[in-house]
Amino acid sequence: MSGSIPTERLFSLSCFEGLKLFRIYAENHTGLLQAELLELLHQVEADASSLDMEAAVELHAHLDIACQLDGEPFYQSCIKAVVISHQPIWAKTMRQGRVRFIDSLDSDDRDVFAAAGLLSNPPDIAVVSWWDDVVGHARLAVDIEKMEQARRAEALTIEYEVERLKALGISKAPEWTGLDDNFAGYDVLSHDLVAGAEVNRMIEVKSTTNSPLRFYLSRNEWNTADKIGDAYVFHVWNMALEPPALFERAVEDIRPHIPSDNEKGNWSNAAIPVGS
């Protein structure tokens, strides 16, 4: 979250109405500083004391300066600005569909969406476009969160392999291959001792918070693992724990869970149980 104002204060009609008032005064008093505008507002506008002007000023920095100040489009712009700039937890649920999302909100938050004209049924094309646009931003935020979790898991594997190699007496360091080459087919290149000889060890890193514990494997990832065989290993990190817990699985541990193709279709992704 950016800024110091809690999201629940930013996402409120009190904040939105305060922002509208602030921008109207800013347009009409271009020579005044922000603090002077707020002082003038409180002197002239009786409603100013009941509005969340502090939250309004923070949201002002994230809202398009050319934003329309009238009616539903203004509220729609405010909601979009909160989703993009502060990524509230409830924004993730927007991907589940409009009705399902609205049903998950409390009455105050539903009132905000209603004031923005976003609950009309059937919705017009402008409302549909707004939902598609904002859900796209919410999905992007989730994707970024997933990427950050995946990178954290890869960093944990690097740390784990550094210590393991030291214990084996191998002087080489693990390489963070997945950071440099998305087409390598594995995330970390490490090393191992087999019959006293030093060999390469290719590690595919997975992060999960699913319960029961499982991870998702693509067809291409499995093809790479199957081709490399014993030198390939999966590191599955349970990120729901603190510190995260590592489950190491060989290719042959995964094989029983790989789906079969049939004449009607081929598998592309599979949910793989981790087990105990």
- Tens digits of per-residue pLDDT, 97-133? 898 999 999 999 999 999 999 998 888 999 999 999 9
If we measure between CA atoms, which residue out of 162, 222, 229 comes closest to residue 189?
A: 162
Q: Give the N- to C-terminal CA distance of the chain in Å, as an integer.
A: 36
- Measured over the CA atoms of residue 90, residue 93, residue 94 and residue 98, the dihedral's sign is negative
% of the chain exceeding 70 in pLDDT: 99
Show contacts of 210-217: CB within 8 Å, 24+ apart. 211/240, 212/273, 212/274, 213/238, 213/247, 213/273, 213/274, 213/275, 214/271, 214/272, 214/273, 214/274, 215/271, 215/272, 215/274, 216/269, 216/270, 216/271, 216/272, 217/254, 217/258, 217/269, 217/270, 217/272
Residue type, 254: I
- In this predicted structure, what is the pLDDT of residue 201? 96
Residue type, 69: L
If we measure between CA atoms, which residue out of 171, 75, 165 comes closest to residue 119?
A: 75
With a cut of 90, say whether residue 197 has pLDDT above it: yes
- CA-angle at 192, arms to 189 and 193, nearest 5°: 160
Residue type, 129: S
Is residue 83 a contact partner of residue 137, using CB atoms and an 8 Å limit? Answer: yes
Average pLDDT for residues 253-275, to the nearest whole number?
90
Could you please report the per-residue DSSP string of 52-93? Answer: -HHHHHHHHTTS-TT---SHHHHHHHHHHHHHHHH--GGGGG
- In this predicted structure, what is the pLDDT of residue 180? 84
With a cut of 90, say whether residue 262 has pLDDT above it: no
β partners of residue 245: 238
- In this predicted structure, what is the pLDDT of residue 274? 92
- 1 falls in which pLDDT band (50, 70, 90)? very low
- In this predicted structure, what is the pLDDT of residue 155? 95
Domain 151-273 has CATH 3.40.1350.50: yes
pLDDT in tens, 145-185: 888 899 999 999 999 999 999 999 999 999 999 888 888 88
Structure tokens at 170: 């191998």
pLDDT in tens, 24-64: 999 898 888 989 989 999 899 888 889 999 999 999 999 98
- In this predicted structure, what is the pLDDT of residue 230? 95
pTM (2 d.p.): 0.65
Q: Rounded to 5, what percent of the chain is helix, strand, coil?
A: 55, 15, 30
Neighbour tally for 85: CB within 10 Å: 19
Query: Can you tell me which residue has the tokens 């199957």?
Result: 226
Strand 232-238 versus strand 245-250 pairing type: antiparallel
Domain-by-domain residue ranges, the chain? 7-121, 151-273
- Residue 89 vs residue 20, higher pLDDT: 20
- In this predicted structure, what is the pLDDT of residue 145? 82
